[in-house]
Chain A
Amino acid sequence: MATVELKNLRKTYLTEEIIKGISLSIEEHEFVVFVGPSGCGKSTLLRMIAGLEDITSGDLLIDGQRVNDVEPGKRGLAMVFQSYALYPHMNVYKNMEFGLKLSGMPEAERRAKIENVARTLQLEPYLNHKPGQLSGGQRQRVAIGRAIVRNPKVFLFDEPLSNLDAALRGQMRVELSALHRKLGATTIYVTHDQVEAMTMADKIVVLQKGVVEQIGSPLELYHHPRNLFVARFIGSPPMNFFSAIFQGGDAAGSSVQLRDGSTLYVPVTSPGLLPGTKVTVGIRPEHVELASSGPNSGVVEVIERLGAITLVHVRMPDGEIIVVQTDGAVLTDVNSPISLTLPPRNCHLFAPDGLAFEACHRHPLAA
């Protein structure tokens, strides 16, 4: 098992810089997830680590060795592609055997290995099938099996579950997590899916336009987003934002004045900020509480009942919409007036440059 270290990696296509200096270190056994909006460079970064794309500048170290110029097959990595990329003319057994054969492993050893992996992945009945005869989930398993048999130092996954339906995706997610726990291999995983990122990752790397926005554990990103972008990107439904005026702060918190004139005392520090500055308040839908009367009153515009939970979209007097996630059995109706309570401990404040104010107390789960 191995460590991976990225030192100021950059990638330029023609004239456009796609990866703008990424530094990151990945520990042994760690499961790292790259997330970010479409086109932010996740796949490019992964492919640079794999060796499928040249590195324009910076260093890539695997187990402390610089591997910028090492062939992809010799870096000791295995990759699972979004399209699975199985070899269509080879059966499942041969697909898994291909890499081993090229590395000159003896026949008996290959067979033992493949059969072992096929058993783990429940692929034994399909060893003689061609990829075209398998379902999407089975193909996915073969692709994972092909990666596992090579016993790589690091696993790379590029949106491996995005071609599966929701139920199968959920099942494969759990299987992948279990597999990671069992093999303990260092893993780098690219995904669009919030749930995958939150549930599987030891460490999430949020990318935007080729730059790292934040690196941290899933709950760290959730409870202490470093800036507006991460706050908006992590969590579903996304965080609510509204503007406020900064009034002043001390060591225990900062007070801001909301649009309706009420003040909020949020437990975050605000060193050096001038009173009167415009700031942004953020609060997640699951932290807003409904009340029948009080300040912050608005009108219910849309209700989405998901069974276990209900999403209430409230139109505030200033025209902004605030989404509230609440109990599934809540009895509110569309067009009825409603008041919102914003618990200060769950509020985030963002300076005009988008950076979050430091929380006075770290969340116990995100220490």
Chain B
Amino acid sequence: MQAVLEHSPPAGATARTTKRTGFLLLSPSVLILLVWSIVPLIMTLWYSLQNYNLVDPTLHGFAGIDNYWYLLTDPDFLHALLNTLVLVAGVLVISIGGATLLAVLYDQEFFGRGIARIMVISPFFIMPTVSALLWKNLMLHPIYGVYSAMMRAVGLTPIDWLARFPLMTVMMIVAWEWLPFAVLILLTAVQSLDGEQREAARMDGAGPIARFRYIILPHLGRAISVVVMIETIYLLTIFAEISVTTAGGPGVASTNLAYLIYSRALLQFDVGGASAGGVVAIVIANIVAIFLVRAVARNLEA
């Protein structure tokens, strides 16, 4: 017994070796994470405090908070901030509202339900750029678009949606992309509702609307809050759809924060100003995230 103990290495040493191996094995991924997220963050912070414009190399050096000052006093920034909020809120309302109704509808038995379900999920598999192009050229184009043809067919003048209502149209396109996700989550939630609960409500004299309002909707509360959280995080950074359809215009009518940063950095070559915008966007995203996570956590606890 004693001999065995002496020959085996001490327990502490084994643990230390294991730990070291663990670190070694972990380090590549930790390094990649560091390089890919922390380094850009520090660089962004650094650039945001610099005068740095690619087309004007004479202007350089420490700028202090000038970049932030210009940004926050820029009417375009406020506009973009507002657009971001409108876009997020609008897409949330449309996609969740629509998804709730569709989820309840798809929970019923009807002929062709399987195919209808696949069709409502399918936008999920289309890349944002592609779906934006589809909408822009195939559906909404004032001359070749399907909607224009439909409007002409009933004698109306086609509307150039992207020029007349740029933000609303982008919102609609993004909502169309996110609807399937919300439907998927909410449909599973609706289906998890205990059948006897619905029947109890029927026995209590609740019609379809009362059942929806008092039984189904409260049951969906958690699922909806999860959808809100996940969608919001992605919707704060919508970019491809705007870039492909309106390029933020006309003017800044459909520019959100992500697109504003892009246009500053890559269209106006103002690296310092764009970095300041990026930092502001990070701060806003984190504020939103904190509120959301708290709200959702509370909802999940209840």
Q: Is A103 an interface position by the 8 A CB rule? A: yes
Cα of A72 to Cα of B208 in the assembled complex, Å: 12
Beta-carbon contact of B199 and A98 below 8 Å: no
Beta-carbon contact of A99 and B196 below 8 Å: no
Instruction: List chain A residues, Cβ under 8 A from B207.
Output: 73
Cα of A78 to Cα of B203 in the assembled complex, Å: 6
Instruction: List chain A residues, Cβ under 8 A from B197.
Output: 85-88
Q: Is B215 an interface position by the 8 A CB rule? A: yes
Instruction: List chain B residues, Cβ under 8 A from A52.
Output: 199, 202-203
Question: What is the CB-to-nearest-CB distance from B218 to chain A, in angstroms, rounded to a whole number?
Answer: 4
Query: Which of A77, A82, A83, A103 meets B203, CB within 8 Å?
Result: A77
Closest to B205 in A: A73
Q: How large is the interface on B (under 10, 10 to 19, 20 to 34, 35 or more residues)?
A: 10 to 19
Q: Is B190 an interface position by the 8 A CB rule? A: no
Cα of A19 to Cα of B258 in the assembled complex, Å: 64
Chain A at the B interface: SS class: loop
Q: Is B214 an interface position by the 8 A CB rule? A: yes
Q: Is A313 an interface position by the 8 A CB rule? A: no
Beta-carbon contact of A98 and B196 below 8 Å: no
Beta-carbon contact of B204 and A98 below 8 Å: yes
Closest to A156 in B: B203
Beta-carbon contact of B205 and A74 below 8 Å: yes
Beta-carbon contact of B205 and A81 below 8 Å: no
Beta-carbon contact of B206 and A79 below 8 Å: no
Q: Is B31 an interface position by the 8 A CB rule? A: no
Beta-carbon contact of B206 and A85 below 8 Å: no
Instruction: List chain B residues, Cβ under 8 A from A324.
Output: none
Q: Is B56 an interface position by the 8 A CB rule? A: no
Q: What does the 1/0 interface line of B205-245 toward A look like (CB < 8 Å)? A: 11100100011001101000000000000000000000000
Instruction: List chain A residues, Cβ under 8 A from B196.
Output: 81-83, 85
Q: Is A102 an interface position by the 8 A CB rule? A: yes
Known contacts A89-B218, A89-B219; A99 and B199 CB within 8 A of each other: no
Q: Is B200 an interface position by the 8 A CB rule? A: yes
Question: What is the CB-to-nearest-CB distance from B202 to chain A, in angstroms, rounded to a whole number?
Answer: 5
Q: Is A150 an interface position by the 8 A CB rule? A: yes
Beta-carbon contact of B202 and A87 below 8 Å: no
Cα of A340 to Cα of B286 in the assembled complex, Å: 85
Closest to B199 in A: A52
Q: Is A338 an interface position by the 8 A CB rule? A: no
Beta-carbon contact of A83 and B194 below 8 Å: yes
Query: Which of B206, B218, B219, B221 meets A73, CB within 8 Å?
Result: B206
Known contacts A85-B197, A89-B219; A98 and B214 CB within 8 A of each other: yes
Interface residues of A in 173-215 (CB under 8 A from B): none
Known contacts A83-B196, A89-B218; A72 and B210 CB within 8 A of each other: no
Cα of A74 to Cα of B203 in the assembled complex, Å: 8
Instruction: List chain A residues, Cβ under 8 A from B205.
Output: 71, 73-74, 99, 102-103
Q: Is B201 an interface position by the 8 A CB rule? A: yes
Question: What is the CB-to-nearest-CB distance from B108 to chain A, in angstroms, rounded to a whole number?
Answer: 15
Query: Which of B203, B215, B218, B221 meets A72, CB within 8 Å?
Result: B203
Interface residues of A in 229-262 (CB under 8 A from B): none
Closest to A79 in B: B203
Instruction: List chain B residues, Cβ under 8 A from A72.
Output: 199, 202-203
Beta-carbon contact of A81 and B200 below 8 Å: yes
Q: Is A50 an interface position by the 8 A CB rule? A: yes
Beta-carbon contact of A102 and B206 below 8 Å: yes
Beta-carbon contact of A73 and B215 below 8 Å: no
Interface residues of B in 52-97 (CB under 8 A from A): none
Beta-carbon contact of A85 and B204 below 8 Å: no
Beta-carbon contact of B194 and A98 below 8 Å: no
Cα of A79 to Cα of B200 in the assembled complex, Å: 7
Closest to B196 in A: A85
Interface residues of A in 70-113 (CB under 8 A from B): 71-74, 77-79, 81-83, 85-89, 98-99, 102-103
| Between-chain CB contacts (< 8 Å), 25 pairs | A50-B199, A50-B203, A51-B202, A52-B199, A52-B202, A72-B199, A72-B202, A73-B202, A74-B205, A78-B203, A81-B196, A81-B199, A81-B200, A82-B196, A85-B199, A86-B200, A87-B200, A87-B201, A87-B215, A87-B218, A98-B214, A102-B204, A102-B206, A146-B200, A150-B204
Q: Given A52-B202, A74-B205, A98-B204, output 5 extra A-B contacts at Cβ < 8 Å.
A: A73-B203, A86-B200, A87-B218, A89-B218, A146-B204
